[in-house]
Structure 1
Amino acid sequence: MKVFCFYTLILLIRYAHADLEVYHNDPDFEAGNYGPYPIQTYNSTDIVSPHMNVLQWNSECEEGLYTFLTPRGGATHEASAMILDSNGNLVWKLQGYNQIYNLLVQDCKGEQYLTFWAGNDAVGGHGAGFYYMLDTSYTQVMKIGAVGGLDGDLHEFRITEQGTALFTVYEIVQVDLSTLGKSSFGPIWDCLVQEIDIVTGELLFQWRAADHFAIADTYKEIGDHGEPGRDFDWFHMNSIDKDPRGNYLVSSRYLHAITYINGATGDIIWTLGGKKNMFEDLSNGRATGFAYQHDARWSDNYTTITLFNNAVDDEHPRIAVTRGMRIKIDQQYMTAELVADYVNPHKIRGISQGSFQTLPSGNAFMGYGNTAAFTEYSHNGTVLCDTHYGPESAFGAGQVQSYRIYKYEWHGWPTSDPDVALVRDGFERWNIFVSWNGATEVTEWILQGSEDPNVSDEDWDDLASLERVAFETRFDLGGSYQSYMRVLGLDSSGRVLGVSEMLDITQDEAWSLAPLRIEQSETGWLNILIGLCGLTGLGVGFREALASWRSRRKPIRLGIGQA
């Protein structure tokens, strides 16, 4: 029994801190047997990241791009923004905000920035917060707010080619609601487009939905809303796109419509879909019959519109299947034709949120909003890659969700140092774990050692090197080691990008194992194991500490491995 407990605990420690491969078509994942949000943890940092299930993969997916998402929900414990590589490995994570939405890479006057919204999202289906811009060192360079004493909404923040900022704003106003069966005026959430100068904050353009549409154009049932304290969300603007003519493409979830707005006058040029549709549908209603849609964008040189057609909402969750749409628009003859649609093989019904992105290759990439999934399709709609970051058994519950999910190229150079941790296993072997949050350009780690803590940089001994292939890398030191060690991060040309702190292995506290962090799915059997092995572990720990003290001055023998 003692031997069983001792070696089982050793194996658990080594496994729990190793980088984990993604699951592949794992039915236990989809059944929720690993919990509502399977995660992996790391030894060199307290960061956690999703442990995903890849259901379908194809080499035609764009592997050179990173995946950008903002997981939130009750099962995630803390809202965050993160970047993952094409293998599902963590690259960068940001946390510490109330809620985070809409992580993008955007260009502003020739420079690349990470942008996102953060604030309070519990404001009747929209948000009250600010827009943030981080440079390639992950340093905040701008915090932008809405104009006129209003709050910045979570749904949209786009930087235009002119270096201006577009965003959605919600404001409570009083309007006549008699056409919806109310006896008098009542409160609604009106929706605004604001465009500002990023540097000066000057308001350049503003448009209000209630000035151009009748409240009765909505498909949203008013119910007991439109009364004091029950503001009616009739329009629900969720995306804005600006074209070279200076006009705006605006999506209204509850009008089931995409509206093209004159950027000089604010007048409506045309409306696609909804009760005020102006287009002849060449696809027997399929081009204009979308509902509750999100993320409407111009594509194909402004000849088509792409969108995420939710087709359902929380009040009508089963009436249709969510799909992406590519709609050809002829503005001269006012015709609309569905040229491609994109349907997830699991027939997802995305009751809220969602995104559709046309990638540089022409592939389509969709994030499914309150459903923990993202899928890449060929241009014509063939499924290429399909990934879940929460179990299908919980789809629709909103326990894990991301407003939008996109793919971009990104290069990041953090100002922090690499994170390192020293962990000793039960075989008298020390392991050094290293990671560097956001350092996209590190391709190699160099382990260095010294017996002198005051040695100059050039006098450190190079002990081993490992290719960086995941977020965290492990150096297995074997049974012996030098007294002081550190890790260097190098780029593909051999240039040193960062140096970790020095680890002093002679310190008494280095004898202790790092706290064990495991996946949620392992807690049950771990508790049983600890109950069986607790007393045995005390004796083993004392024996191993004594053995370590006797061997600390042995010549170094490095057996190098990678987790």
Structure 2
Amino acid sequence: MWSSWAFFLVAVGVASGRPSKPTDGSYDFGYEHDAYGAHPLTVFKSAAELEVPKLDVLQHSKLCESSLYTLLTPRGGATRKPQTTILDSNGDLIWTSEWNGQQLYNLMVQEYKGEKYLTFWAGNDAVGGHGAGTIIMLDKTYTLFKEVRAAYGLDADLHDFRITESGTALITVYEIVQRDLTEVGKNHIGPVWDCLIQEIDLETGVAVFQWRALDHWNLVDTYKEIGGDGEGDRAYDFFHMNSIDKDARGNYLTSSRYMHALTYIDGTTGEVIWILGGKRNMFRDLSNGTATNFAYQHDARWSGNDTITIFDNGVDDVHRDIADTRGLKLKIDEQNMTVEVVTEYFNPHKIHGISQGSFQSLSNGNVLLGYGNSAAFTEFASNGDVLCDTHFGPESRFGSAEVQSYRVYKYEWHGWPRTTPSSALRINSARSWNFFVSWNGATEVSKWILQGSNSSNATEEEWRELNRTKRTGFETAFEIRKSYPSFLRAVAVHSEGHMLGRSEPLDVQAIKDELQYTYGFNFTDDEVWIAQIALACGGVLGIGALLRMGIIAWNTRRKAYQRVSTEDS
């Protein structure tokens, strides 16, 4: 009776709008219109504490870079907790973590003294549109290697942290200073956010270079209206630095969101060499204005000796529709002071990235754009053709800041966690008991071996192999047979055949008894969802009666089970 009831409720659930994924993978209408909520999630049986964005792949090509992992930092009003997250090319989880309840930004893989580290910013991001915190460096075991701070008692800002080849780090820093505000319409001295570049020696924490925007830019050069800023404790963010890059000549390139400009700075004297874009633009635009009309831009980097890449937002919170967001590759001629567009990169849905965003040039020639405030990232061929387009939140919510990631990047990474694999017993949709196993952060697992024993304290020799399978995504399942012994565990195996780690033993019968006692009889995850759909549709004719029948059957089975348990005891 339960099977037919469940089938009927599945049909009602589909009719009620729970969508299925299109077979061509092009567009999940339900996903993009909140059928899974504002923050669609993937959850796991073996690691119930983990939850990561569920992706909707709108467009896919084999030409996309599949050998690298995707790094992002999901956060926003619809997310329960900010996290650093690494996904593989299929969207399966590799690693995710919180950090002391802090906001998290800018997850990257960077090299220091020949070793790879995960780096990200952690702190308070509610400080006038930027942040006050520190930079975290984790080694390949996900252990804290360094916590990097800004110099002179200031806080590290969230916008950028780049390790140089010489073993120093570039950090953006914000500091409130008092300035005469007459030129921007105020008749008093008031607070202004000055923007600093600090280059920090990672060994000593000492600043080897510092540059201040207010020493070289005037308040009147900004496009940001002062409004009520500059009054009381409301500092005026006139410049808003969001990226720093250092070239082989030892000079710095920085992006200013509110100047609509890039500033190229002498690495010895700190003097401005040239300015590209904005009110003080020094370049002749050979592309009819499209090379210098970028606005509210982010993530400006050198890409070779004469090429600069930019994530050109084109819009902000106040001016949401004045332009289409684009990736922009520019060719600079510093001798003749000319600039021209090499390539523009537009999302096929014309996303307006009203804040944040990233542009990454990949080693295979592709370009990856992350859309910041909008939960999307797109990979392009070098000529601007769209290859892969992915959402990690519904498009209907873009611009709401409910799900976002400051940047999205791709990197190679090898993780060797010091934790042990996690495991759990659950019933699948075929009503069979399964053993589920996963290992957060472990990139080198090739196979899982299921082992069994009649004792949790068995010696290694007493654990015998029951089954083995290739690692499939983040979480791998083994079907449990009646002939299996009482205790089960999983062993993670490297591609070269050696053991990487093993899960703690599970007492199969004890877990079954606990689950059956709790639920009366064995609900699968899908059947729980069906019951929830039925409850939501209780006003539909007949659903309430059918649901009541199911509940009566459930309670009858539960009471019968409890009676048998009592008699057996």
In the superposition, the TM-score normalised over structure 2's length comes to 0.90
- Structure 1: give runs of 5+ residues left out of the alignment: 12-19, 551-563
Q: What code does the residue aligned with 1:197 have?
A: D
Change beyond 3 A, Cα 1:162–1:526: farther
Return the match for 1:249 from 240, 248, 253.
Answer: 253
Q: Say whether the 8 Å CA contact 1:69–1:402 is kept in structure 2.
A: yes
Change beyond 3 A, Cα 1:346–1:163: same
How far has the Cα of 1:29 moved from its partner? 1.2
Say yes or no: does 1:465 pair with 2:449.
no
Q: Say whether the 8 Å CA contact 1:428–1:544 is kept in structure 2.
A: no
Q: What code does the residue aligned with 2:224 have?
A: K
How far has the Cα of 1:57 moved from its partner? 0.3
Instruction: Give the root-mean-square deviation of aligned CA atoms.
Output: 2.7
Match of 2:392 in 1: 389
Match of 1:537 in 2: 554
Return the match for 1:139 from 123, 136, 143.
Answer: 143
How far has the Cα of 1:548 moved from its partner? 11
Change beyond 3 A, Cα 1:156–1:321: same
Q: Secondary structure at the match of 2:445?
A: coil
Return the match for 1:58 from 53, 56, 61.
Answer: 61
Match of 2:541 in 1: none
String of CA shifts for 1:202-248, please: whole Å, max 9, x gaps. 11110000000111110101112111222110000000001111111
Say yes or no: does 1:369 pair with 2:372.
yes
Q: What code does the residue aligned with 1:145 have?
A: R
Match of 2:412 in 1: 409
Return the match for 2:230 from 217, 226, 230.
Answer: 226
**Once structures 1 and 2 are overlaid, which stretch shifts more, 448-457 or 334-343?**
448-457
Distance 1:522 1:203 in 2: 59
Q: What code does the residue aligned with 1:58 have?
A: S
Change beyond 3 A, Cα 1:423–1:113: same
Matches within 5 A, 1:475-514: 475-507=478-510, 510-512=513-515
Q: What code does the residue aligned with 2:311 have?
A: F
Return the match for 1:296 from 287, 293, 300.
Answer: 300
Q: Secondary structure at the match of 1:512?
A: helix
**Once structures 1 and 2 are overlaid, which stretch shifts more, 309-318 or 537-546?**
537-546
Q: Secondary structure at the match of 1:360?
A: coil
Q: Say whether the 8 Å CA contact 2:370–2:378 is kept in structure 1.
A: yes
In the superposition, the TM-score normalised over structure 1's length comes to 0.91
Distance 1:245 1:84 in 2: 35
Distance 2:199 2:314 in 1: 29
Return the match for 2:166 from 158, 162, 165.
Answer: 162
Say yes or no: does 1:260 pair with 2:264.
yes
Q: Secondary structure at the match of 1:226?
A: coil
String of CA shifts for 1:415-452, please: whole Å, max 9, x gaps. 00000012246977321100000101101100001123
Q: What code does the residue aligned with 2:41 have?
A: I
How far has the Cα of 1:184 moved from its partner? 2.1
Distance 2:135 2:397 in 1: 31
Return the match for 1:195 from 199, 223, 234.
Answer: 199
Say yes or no: does 1:94 pair with 2:97.
yes
Q: Say whether the 8 Å CA contact 1:172–1:231 is kept in structure 2.
A: yes
Change beyond 3 A, Cα 1:26–1:175: same
Distance 1:37 1:477 in 2: 33
Distance 2:485 2:474 in 1: 25
String of CA shifts for 1:11-59, please: whole Å, max 9, x gaps. 9xxxxxxxx9996411111122221111121101120111111110000
Change beyond 3 A, Cα 1:537–1:281: same
Matches within 5 A, 1:112-151: 112-151=116-155
Match of 2:32 in 1: 30
- Structure 2: give runs of 5+ residues left out of the alignment: 12-21, 537-545
Distance 2:121 2:527 in 1: 29
Q: What code does the residue aligned with 1:534 have?
A: I
Q: Secondary structure at the match of 1:195?
A: strand
Match of 1:316 in 2: 319
How far has the Cα of 1:148 moved from its partner? 1.4
Match of 1:337 in 2: 340
String of CA shifts for 1:332-351, please: whole Å, max 9, x gaps. 11111100000000001110
How far has the Cα of 1:147 moved from its partner? 1.2
Distance 2:386 2:66 in 1: 15
Match of 2:43 in 1: 41
Change beyond 3 A, Cα 1:82–1:526: farther
Q: Say whether the 8 Å CA contact 1:352–1:369 is kept in structure 2.
A: yes
Change beyond 3 A, Cα 1:425–1:408: closer
Change beyond 3 A, Cα 1:449–1:120: same
Q: Say whether the 8 Å CA contact 2:121–2:133 is kept in structure 1.
A: yes
Q: Say whether the 8 Å CA contact 1:448–1:487 is kept in structure 2.
A: yes
Higher RCO (CA 8 Å, separation ≥ 6 residues) = 1
Q: Say whether the 8 Å CA contact 2:10–2:530 is kept in structure 1.
A: no
Return the match for 1:525 from 508, 533, 547.
Answer: 533
Match of 2:15 in 1: none
String of CA shifts for 1:358-400, please: whole Å, max 9, x gaps. 0001100000000010000001110000001111111111100
Percent identity among equivalent residues?
Answer: 54
Q: Say whether the 8 Å CA contact 2:531–2:547 is kept in structure 1.
A: no
